[in-house]
Chains A and B, each alone.
Chain A
């Protein structure tokens, strides 16, 4: 159980510490030299919180840094595979790549608006569970002034590192949510129809959400 330091001075210290941690090869590695999933999530969330809390950065810089930190530990291709589900196996390589890029941009725009409103919430790590040696769930609680929001991260082991492929907030899975939504669109207007709609959505969001 760890709570982040959130005082302004401590936030700057947290940034430096987490940057050092990010730069270090692997913290608390297991026998095989692989950082455990809990450490990966903690490291990533700590680094994001530190960037958000850093008053010296402007919004554009924060966004770029956050995207970079998250991109290093989120496997958007695995996520896209799971989101498109049965439609993934029917998609061509070009369609898969296009979907992955668009989905990443869509998530980046959608969730940037949410996390950029960060105001000193703290994150508590409540547990880590391994499923076999390839899958893991890391449970966290975001403590806001009014409510504690449970956020679970799902990770899988890709070669020698753990990568996230789903986030479950208040028992609602991001992958399941988009899977249901996109499945209807593909059923209605085909995969190219979905890609077209996503392109429009991403373009609109990037105009509206430019920091």
Chain B
């Protein structure tokens, strides 16, 4: 009976990203011109390894930018010139955030804002834009 409950608990924690003891992860914010297609819960990766997730996405009413809130594993230290890019898993998969580490001496502290970002690339928009340029 107890073992069963423990298994259930383990499943809830590992499948549902449920953290009963409070999150040890630290928060960061990244601002994008567009975060089209990105959803809360999307994962954050560095070097192909999942190290965090998107917790919330909101619109900045003044700049009309997308403010994406992230949380990252405590051992992942990012330089202030690390770049956050919104990418798609495969060609039609879900969007996620890929971070390429930088070379600056200053490390981002919990709650800091990442300045260097690349927004969602809309393949449809790009194709429709450049399809008419094939003559040169």
| Contact surface of A with B, Cβ cutoff 8 Å | 81-82, 84-89, 129, 131, 135, 144, 146-148, 154, 166, 168, 170-173, 175-176, 179-180, 183
Contacts and interface: CB of A to CB of B under 8 A. Distances in A.
20 contacts: A84-B103, A85-B79, A85-B101, A86-B101, A86-B103, A87-B103, A88-B103, A89-B103, A129-B63, A144-B133, A170-B126, A171-B33, A171-B118, A171-B120, A173-B85, A175-B116, A176-B85, A176-B100, A179-B83, A179-B102
Contact of B118 (A88, A173, A183): A173
Interface string B119-136: 111000010011011000
The secondary structure that dominates the A interface is: mixed
A92 B33 CA distance: 37
Contacts, number: 62
Contact of B115 (A81, A84, A88, A135): A135
Nearest to A176: B83
Nearest to B120: A171
B81 interface: yes
B121 A172 contact: yes
B130 A172 contact: no
Contact of A171 (B63, B104, B119): B119
A105 to B, nearest CB: 20
A172 B100 contact: no
A118 to B, nearest CB: 13
B118 A172 contact: yes
A87 B120 CA distance: 27
Given A147-B129, A172-B121, A131 B116 contact: no
Contact of A176 (B34, B113, B118): B118
Contacts of B102: 82, 85-86, 179
A171 B83 contact: no
Interface string B53-65: 0000000000100
B70 to A, nearest CB: 17
Given A135-B115, A147-B129, A173-B116, A81 B103 contact: yes
A76 to B, nearest CB: 14
B57 to A, nearest CB: 17
Contacts of A154: 116
